[in-house]
Structure 1
Amino acid sequence: MVDVLGLGKVSKEIFDRSVRPFLPIEKLELDGTIIDLKRNTVIAHSPSIGVPLEALGFFAFHYSASNVASKFGKPKYMITGLYLPLKTKERDLKIISENLGREARKYGVKIIAGQTATYSGLEIPLITSTCLGEQVREPIKPEIGDRVLIIGEVGYEGIWLDELSRGVKDRDWKQYTPLPIALKLQSCQEVKVMHDVSEGGVKGALLEIVESLNVGIEVDSTGIKFAKSLEEKKGDPLRSPSYGTLITITSKDGVKKVREICKSIGYSLSNIGRISKEKILLVDKEQVIEQKRVLLDEIYGSFRPKDEVLNELEKAAYELVNIEGLASLIPQVGTNIVYAKKNAKDIEDVAGISGRIVRTVDGPLICGEISYGGSYNLSKVIIEAIKLDKHKRSAINLKFNERITQKLQSIGLDTVTIPMELKKGECPVVLYINKSQEIHDVYIHPGSLGIEPTTTIISDNPSLLVTLMTRLAKFE
């Protein structure tokens, strides 16, 4: 078996060995496939990216198939695109194909066209799917007084994403799909509208219904069933990613019937609100007018195979840009944050942002990717620090002013002002640590001609730096 896939479209040999045996392919034709669609056809398209390899095929199928089912269509055909990074292993392609094919066969869906290839520029696999289905019946326009129901507990996907960002992968992700209940409810005439929840959470999905159908919705969140531990996470739980949860608009007299159907296949149901006269979304009597995102949305689609250093630094970076007042701490050159592997020896062992965190009119923004060797100067600082104290593996740079210095000292951090001496191509903090052979918490560089004064803080890990930045931002 070929170990690493070559650039571009996979060969027929590889396709026949690692793709075709696992997918329920209708037929293969030159350039495209001709199918006969006799009824109203529902079409939906979705990408699957940033989840563990073994889950990619599953979600590639369910994302688009669930959308078809929510539109009262029975999934029948699917077009798939398997787009992979360079140097992808053939066994990885096989894992994706097996899981995609397993779900397609389970629901009687045929693969009728697609593409399988590797491309430069992709860092993680991207699987796209277009699902086509025959419409069972038309959705029904909601009326004032109809009930808004949430099927399934809210937030399991958000918890799963959070666990993935911390390297935890033992949760049963196959439960995160609304497809079984959406198909079951198609025959229930009391169900007028269905819409699945994903990025943007429950509030985002409700707002989409309001704007798309030109209706009003009033919701009381006290009756919503949340996944355990979701409310402990930062941010609004009603904006947390929640794929697997389904919203339905149901006639008032149909709630009992829907509840019985849900119970019969193991789904919970929350009766959370109603269709109202005023065409706005009210949640707990407050109007929702935009789909704000939460931290868990920021890491949506960014999962990498477990790497403690990269994952922890990425989480910290997104937490940083969500700190209120952080912009007041960012220097003109921007802020970076780094985290080193244990016993790091050179800058390739230190992860950082390939660009910087910069100030914008919309608030702090991460420019660049989290990667090893992402910040040359801060990485060199940490390499020097580790030589003296192996626990000092993380650092961040801020702007300098006396208030920041006084606050750091009042917290109890050991600060030192380093000389303005310069050596071409070298960071002054690196030079100072190397020459003094001393470790301090905070290094103040007063600047020089053409060089901005800065504050460099060293700590054990990025999480401690985020906590410190939160305190400093409040002070500023």
Structure 2
Amino acid sequence: MLPAGKIPPEKLREIVFNRLGARGERVIIGADLGVDAAAIDFGETVLVASTDPITGAGEGIGFYAVHVNANDVATFGARPKWFLASILLPENSDEAILSGIMEELHRSAAKLGVAIVGGHTEVTPGLDRPIVVGTMLGEVQREKLVTSNGSKPGDAIILTKWAGLEGTSIIASERAEELEGAFGRGFVERARKFIEMISVVEDALTANEVGVHAMHDPTEGGIANGLHEMADAAGLGFRVYAERIPIREETLEICRFYGLNPLALISSGALMIAAPRDGVDDILNALGEKGINASVIGEFVEDPGVRVIVENGEERPLERPESDELWKVV
């Protein structure tokens, strides 16, 4: 049986990556471990395409669909421009549900300057909640394309914002009554508003202007899985330091309450950047000028067998999460 969440890497290799249709002559970057978008040669520019479903959220599902897919495109250095959405509704849904999702999609896309150019809508038997599957297309000048496998040994790992932002917001929305009883309404409202920080488009485009080797947004499986995915893509290992990983107090409290690991909680809104050591200060300064919090949390190492976290002076393996912590509570 497959666990909830992302399909394990070994199963992707066994079942998925050996069944990818015809070879595309203009494909610069295709499907692979740790790769969240495709890059297709269009001459002077490169088309970047990404697709992701939103399955774990009720409220804000249209907002998440636009921003999560825009984030993937932006990690390649591309500006998101065109969006398609497939909306699947449970039986007995009324028109207000579809209207609400479309309003969220419209407002979110308009804010990013993205046009919604197509999609599909249907009522689907067997669902217990709406699902939105988004596809985002973006464009970047060829010389500014950032590849997912570009991390190099010795690169600093920079993390923008905080770990677990999306997961915190979803849990605060889905378990609001329970959390209000434990922490108060103000706490829950602050946690729910983490959704407002979910976009990394400005983070990524700002860092790419300075110069980076690779970027990745840690979604399912959180920071821990994101580190493994970046390392997978480049064939590297990593060493990170627990005390350097920024986590908001609301995330820590919610994770303690439900017994969750904040490093394995879906973390859209944060951005991982692999950067040459001599460019770190420039990147941090550029992000800081935009009001974007950023921290150096570790480095990539040459040995792919070294994937560790240092905590209280002790080094231990940082395990790849089997599934996202979100699924334990929603």
Corresponding residue number in structure 2 for 1:204: 225
Residue equivalent to 1:117: 122
SS of corresponding position for 1:187 = helix
Match of 2:106 in 1: 101
User: Who is 1:296 aligned against?
Assistant: 326
The structure-2 alpha-carbon separation of the partners of 1:148 and 1:125, relative to structure 1 and needing over 3 Å to count, comes to same
- Residue 138 of structure 1 corresponds to 145
Distance in 2, Cα, partners of 1:120 & 1:242: 30
Offset at 1:289?
4.5
| Cα separation, 2, equivalents of 1:229 and 1:102 | 27
How far apart, CA to CA, are the structure 2 residues paired with 1:120 and 1:47? 18
SS at structure 2 position matched to 1:40: strand
- State yes or no: 1:175 paired with 2:184: no
Counterparts of 1:90 and 1:195, CA distance in 2: 36
Q: Does 1:281 align with 2:281?
A: no
Alpha-carbon spacing, 1:165–1:91, altered in 2? closer, same or farther (3 Å) = closer
Query: What is the aligned partner in structure 1 of residue 160 from structure 2?
Result: 151
Amino acid at match of 1:115: H
Deviation at 1:215, TM superposition (A): 1.4
Question: Counterpart in 2 of 1:44?
Answer: 50
Give 1:13-412 correspondences, 5 Å limit. Answer: 39-53=45-59, 55-136=60-141, 137-139=144-146, 141-168=150-177, 170=189, 171-172=192-193, 173-189=195-211, 191-232=212-253, 233=256, 234-279=259-304, 280-284=306-310, 285-293=315-323, 295-299=325-329, 302=330
CA-CA distance at 1:81 after TM superposition? 0.7
User: Offset at 1:295?
Assistant: 4.1
Distance 1:51 1:266 in 2: 28
Structure 2 residue matching 1:124: 3-state secondary structure: coil
User: Using the alignment, how far apart are the partners of 1:184 and 1:263 within structure 2?
Assistant: 10
Counterpart amino acid of residue 155 in structure 2? D
SS of equivalent to 1:158: helix
2-structure distance, mates of 1:130, 1:86: 24
Question: What do you get for the CA RMSD once the two structures are aligned?
Answer: 2.1
Structure 1: which 5+ runs fail to align?
A: 1-35, 303-476
Does the Cα contact within 8 Å between 2:261 and 2:325 map onto a contact in 1?
A: no
Alpha-carbon distance in 2 for matches of 1:276, 1:176: 29
> Percent identity over the alignment?
27
Q: In structure 1, how many angstroms separate the alpha carbons of the residues matched to 2:100 and 2:202?
A: 23
Paired with 1:112 and 1:50, the residues of 2 have a C-alpha distance of 25
CA distance in structure 2 between the partners assigned to 1:82 and 1:266 by the alignment = 34
> Aligned partners of 1:144 and 1:181: how far apart in 2?
23
Structure-2 change in CA distance of 1:118 and 1:37 (3 Å): farther
Q: What TM-score does the superposition give when structure 1 sets the normalisation length?
A: 0.52
Shift of 1:294: 5.7
Structure 2: gaps of 5 or more residues: 1-40, 178-187
8 A Cα contact 2:151 2:230, kept in partner: no
Note the C-alpha offset of 1:222: 1.2
Describe the superposition over 1:155-177 as per-residue Cα deviations: whole angstroms up to 9, x where unpaired: 23232233234235632122222
Q: Are the aligned partners of 2:266 and 2:325 in contact in 1 as well (CA < 8 Å)?
A: no
Once the two structures are TM-superposed, the CA of residue 75 in structure 1 deviates from its matched residue by 1.2
1:58 Cα deviation from its structure 2 partner = 0.8
C-alpha contact 1:200 1:297 (8 A) present in aligned 2 = no
Q: Give me the whole-angstrom Cα distance separating, in 2, the residues matched to 1:230 and 1:167.
A: 14
Residue identity opposite 1:166 in structure 2? R
Matches of 1:167 and 1:230, distance apart in 2: 14
User: In structure 1, what residue type is equivalent to 2:159?
Assistant: I
Residues 139 and 163 of structure 1: is their aligned pair in 2 closer, same or farther, counting only changes over 3 Å? same
Q: How many residues align?
A: 263
1:37 positional shift? 5.6
The 3-state SS of whatever aligns with 1:117 is strand
1: distance between equivalents of 2:170 and 2:109?
24
1:142 and 1:128 map into 2 onto residues whose CA distance is 29
Q: How far is the alpha carbon of 1:245 from its aligned partner?
A: 0.8
- The 8 Å contact of residues 152 and 213 in structure 2, kept in 1 or not, is answered as no
Cα distance in 2 for residues equivalent to 1:77 and 1:56 = 18
SS state of the match for residue 225, structure 1? coil
Q: CA deviation at 1:291?
A: 2.1
Q: Tell me how far 1:241 sits from its aligned partner.
A: 2.0
Give the TM-score normalised by the residue count of structure 2.
0.74
**How far off is 1:185 after superposition?**
2.2
Amino acid at match of 2:55: I
1:183, CA displacement in angstroms?
A: 2.5
